[in-house]
């Protein structure tokens, strides 16, 4: 209200919370609220609809309060049964035409800020009404009074809402007044957020916007302009209202960006661009705690043999193991063929022999990593909950735990970051660099390949070893927990315990194992090849189940193991007898057959005739206990922890088997057996008794004769 001097004053009764004081009465109206003419009785249902109350509540009020006051009665109108009818005077909410102070009083749907904002605007309207009344008494009109009131607002004589600077002009005052008279106190609230929500709801229900959204949110990624064009065609056919391009732009902009990327680019793009990464704390790791392994196709064209005496171009594959604590590439292999379990085992053996065994490996879900050769269980068996075989699987034999990365999630394998460094720091410096994508492919690649600038596989391996040592391991790494150290320095600084194995035992554990296989008349059969037909140790196992471990060169034979994984012997490949063999060669072959027959006969003649004597058994048991009671040798220092396996006691036998040369004479390499790294088996034609080509019997006999003479 206004003082005698014409200044605006504010009521002193504050409401709860910050903001301007809440007024008690409505805008001043001369003569009070007019009474509506023609008061009528209305049904309880209509009264409930006008007031927004429940019909049962209106009926209870009619029976308990208004009936006694003569404001309610029961009537039967038409065919409907009798019901309560209440006078419009019983409650102001029942009036057909309501005053501003009587409507819009329910503010429960508004937020706390909106309610305070509505009260502030209502206080401004009250002060404006009082200022106009005072101006009339002084002879000023409404226009002059409003102008003076706006000046007082600009001079800051009225506190701003929540202390915020606010500018109010004539239009704002008249707009607030119209809204208050039409909707009461609730209509004065700042409804900009509510209007936006209402507009968004209206757009969601609009068929034109729905059609545009349907066309736009597809992985074909059409432009918004084309979507609007085709949606307009559908709208004209179906009678929908058409909206302009800008409205469609605003509708698309209101969709969360993550949803647009998911619908238009797919789940992988959503994972790469939108999902927050899981940040690992590398301070909690030690060197050799976890190794991460994967494959990476190098962006380099190199020259490799084509198998026909010539050369061809191919992109080699890098397979490596990275120590997560130090980011050091502890083991790697570069191969031209598709990587498989043998390449993984070769890189793991090199890493474990140099740096020690890890506690755990984090590997991919591909069939080469998730294989029985590495884990002792197939992927299908692992998913069904089967336990790994204790004698098959290099990781099982070496006491290494296995963890699998999240499928189709490169971010879950930290070695992918190291592969990015390889792509930028190593691959880009070659003349035959292919680029990471077709968009980054150099134009001169074909000319460089024709000019013979492609490196050989050996040249590539040598260069990568030099770059890895000087350009990666000895360069400062800026990753988390590296603290300005190089990978080599970080590995040494965080190595508390080094688990080791004898190198021959490690090589033996990393040989791929297959089986069980049954020993037959041709010895052990594997992939169409036969081994150990004339070996006495193999023939002694005739009819039994065995395992085999396959080395790099099959021409040297395979390692025969019992079902407990212990080495039995090294079985050479079976020899072939040429069709035009002379009598002497046939005689020598028959001699070998007789030797095997004699071996079996000697075993039958010399077999034990009775069980061990009980006293002898007790003596042997006492000797074993005495041996176990003897003091053991001192343990190695804590920094070195040898890994024990079930075949440690066979170390001399394993060394002898590894050092045994191949029984192959000069000239026998013309028909070699395939290598384990050739990834293919060459078999000859013929009947079922044919076997893979190997050294001839003549060459073998000649080698035997030279050995005897020497």
**Which secondary-structure segment (H or E) carries 73?**
strand 72-75
Name residues whose C-beta falls within 8 Å of residue 400's C-beta, 6 or more positions apart in sequence: 357, 358, 359, 360, 361
Identify any residues that bridge with 75 across adjacent strands, giving them in sequence order: 83
Hunting for tokens 């020993």 — which residue is that? 519
Domain ranges (residues) in the chain: 193-273, 284-500, 513-605+639-710
Measured between alpha carbons, how far is 213 from 74 in angstroms, rounded to an integer?
56
Measured between alpha carbons, how far is 512 from 524 in angstroms, rounded to an integer?
16
Contact 27, 67 (CB under 8 A): no
Residue 139: its pLDDT value, please? 83
Measured between alpha carbons, how far is 556 from 558 in angstroms, rounded to an integer?
7
pLDDT digits (tens, 9 = 90+) for 424-438: 999 999 999 999 888
- The domain 193-273 is placed in CATH, from the list 2.40.128.20, 3.30.465.10, 1.10.10.60, 3.40.50.2300, at 1.10.10.60
Helix (H, G, I), strand (E, B) or coil at 474: coil
Residue 31: its pLDDT value, please? 36
User: Cα-flanking dihedrals φ and ψ of residue 80, to 5°?
Assistant: -70, 150
Q: Give pLDDT < 70 ranges for the chain.
A: 1-38, 52, 96-104, 157-166, 191-204, 575-639, 660-710
Residue 257: its pLDDT value, please? 93
Contact 548, 559 (CB under 8 A): yes
Distance of CA 598 to the CA centre of its chain: 63
Distance of CA 261 to the CA centre of its chain: 17
Give DSSP secondary structure letters for 101-116. Answer: GGSS---TTS-HHHHH
Measured between alpha carbons, how far is 238 from 451 in angstroms, rounded to an integer?
65
Burial of 135 (0-12, 13-18, 19+ CB in 10 A): buried
Measured between alpha carbons, how far is 185 from 145 in angstroms, rounded to an integer?
24
Residue 477: its pLDDT value, please? 93
Instruction: Label the pairing between strands 290-297 and 360-363.
Output: parallel
Residue 160: its pLDDT value, please? 60
Residue 382: its pLDDT value, please? 85
Residue 85, CA distances (Å) to 65, 66, 79, 81 in order: 13, 10, 16, 12
Distance of CA 326 to the CA centre of its chain: 23
Distance of CA 576 to the CA centre of its chain: 54
Residue 101: its pLDDT value, please? 67
Name residues whose C-beta falls within 8 Å of residue 379's C-beta, 6 or more positions apart in sequence: 365, 367, 370, 371
Measured between alpha carbons, how far is 344 from 340 in angstroms, rounded to an integer?
7
Q: Which CATH class is domain 284-500?
A: alpha beta
> What number of other Cβ atoms are within 10 A of residue 110's Cβ?
18
Residue 34: its pLDDT value, please? 43
Measured between alpha carbons, how far is 284 from 98 in angstroms, rounded to an integer?
72
């Amino acid at each position: 209200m206004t003082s005698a001097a014409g200044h605006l004053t504010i009521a002193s009764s504050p409401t709860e919370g910050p903001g301007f004081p809440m007024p008690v009465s409505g805008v001043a109206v001369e003569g009070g609220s007019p009474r509506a003419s023609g008061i009528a009785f209305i049904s309880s249902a209509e009264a409930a609809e006008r007031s927004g109350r429940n019909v049962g509540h209106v009926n209870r009020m009619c029976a308990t309060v208004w009936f006694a006051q003569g404001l309610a009665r029961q009537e039967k109108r038409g065919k409907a049964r009798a019901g309560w009818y209440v006078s419009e005077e019983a409650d102001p909410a029942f009036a057909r035409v309501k005053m501003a102070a009587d409507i819009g009083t329910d503010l429960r749907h508004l937020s706390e800020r909106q309610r305070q904002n509505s009260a502030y605007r209502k206080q401004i309207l009250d002060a404006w009404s009082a200022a106009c009344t005072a101006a009339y008494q002084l002879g000023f009109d409404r226009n002059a009074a409003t102008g003076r009131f706006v000046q007082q607002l600009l001079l800051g004589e009225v506190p701003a809402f929540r202390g915020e600077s606010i500018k109010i002009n004539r239009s704002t005052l008249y707009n607030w007044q119209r809204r208050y008279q039409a909707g009461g106190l609730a209509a004065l609230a700042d409804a900009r957020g509510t209007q936006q929500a209402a507009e968004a709801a209206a757009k969601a229900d609009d068929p034109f916007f729905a059609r545009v959204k349907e066309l736009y949110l597809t992985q074909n990624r059409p432009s918004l302009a084309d979507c609007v064009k085709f949606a307009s065609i559908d709208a004209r056919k179906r009678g929908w209202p058409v909206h302009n391009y800008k409205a469609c732009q605003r509708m698309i902009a209101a969709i969360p960006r993550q949803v647009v990327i998911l619908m238009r680019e797919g789940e992988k793009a959503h994972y790469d661009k939108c999902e927050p990464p899981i940040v690992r704390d590398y301070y909690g790791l030690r060197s050799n705690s976890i190794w991460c392994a994967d494959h990476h196709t190098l962006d380099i064209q190199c020259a490799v043999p084509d198998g026909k005496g010539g050369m061809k171009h191919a992109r080699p594959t890098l397979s490596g193991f990275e120590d997560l604590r130090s980011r050091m590439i502890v083991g790697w292999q570069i191969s031209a063929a598709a990587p498989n379990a043998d390449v993984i085992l070769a890189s793991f053996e090199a890493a474990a022999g140099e740096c020690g065994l890890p506690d755990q490996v984090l590997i991919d879900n591909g069939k080469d990593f998730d294989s029985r050769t590495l884990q002792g269980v197939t992927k299908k068996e692992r998913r069904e909950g089967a336990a790994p075989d204790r004698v098959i699987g290099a990781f099982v034999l070496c006491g290494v735990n296995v963890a699998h990365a999240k499928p189709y999630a490169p971010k879950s394998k930290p070695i992918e970051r190291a592969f990015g460094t390889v792509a930028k720091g190593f691959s880009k410096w070659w003349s035959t660099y292919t680029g990471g994508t077709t968009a980054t492919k150099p134009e001169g690649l074909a000319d460089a390949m024709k000019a013979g600038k492609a490196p050989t596989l050996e040249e590539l391996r040598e260069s990568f070893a030099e770059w890895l040592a000087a350009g990666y391991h000895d360069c400062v790494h800026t990753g988390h927990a590296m603290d300005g150290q190089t990978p080599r320095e970080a590995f040494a600084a965080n190595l508390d315990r080094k688990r080791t194995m004898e190198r021959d035992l490690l090589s033996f554990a990393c040989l791929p194992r297959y089986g069980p296989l049954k020993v037959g008349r041709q010895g052990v059969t594997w992939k169409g090849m036969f081994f150990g037909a004339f070996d006495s140790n193999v023939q002694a196992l005739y009819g039994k189940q065995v395992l085999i471990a396959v080395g790099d060169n099959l021409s040297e034979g395979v390692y025969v193991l019992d079902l407990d994984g212990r080495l039995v012997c090294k079985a050479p490949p079976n020899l072939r007898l040429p069709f035009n063999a002379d009598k002497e060669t046939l005689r020598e072959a028959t001699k070998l057959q007789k030797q095997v027959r004699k071996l079996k006969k000697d075993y039958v003649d010399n077999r034990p005739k009775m069980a061990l004597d009980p006293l002898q058994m007790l003596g042997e048991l006492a000797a074993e206990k005495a041996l176990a009671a003897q003091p053991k040798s001192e343990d190695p220092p804590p920094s070195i922890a040898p890994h024990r396996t079930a075949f440690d006691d066979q170390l001399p036998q394993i060394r002898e088997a590894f050092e045994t040369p191949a029984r192959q004479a000069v000239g026998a390499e013309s028909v070699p057996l395939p290598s384990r790294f050739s990834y293919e088996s060459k078999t000859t034609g013929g009947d079922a008794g044919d076997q893979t080509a190997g050294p001839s019997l003549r060459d073998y006999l000649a080698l035997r004769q030279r050995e005897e003479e020497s």
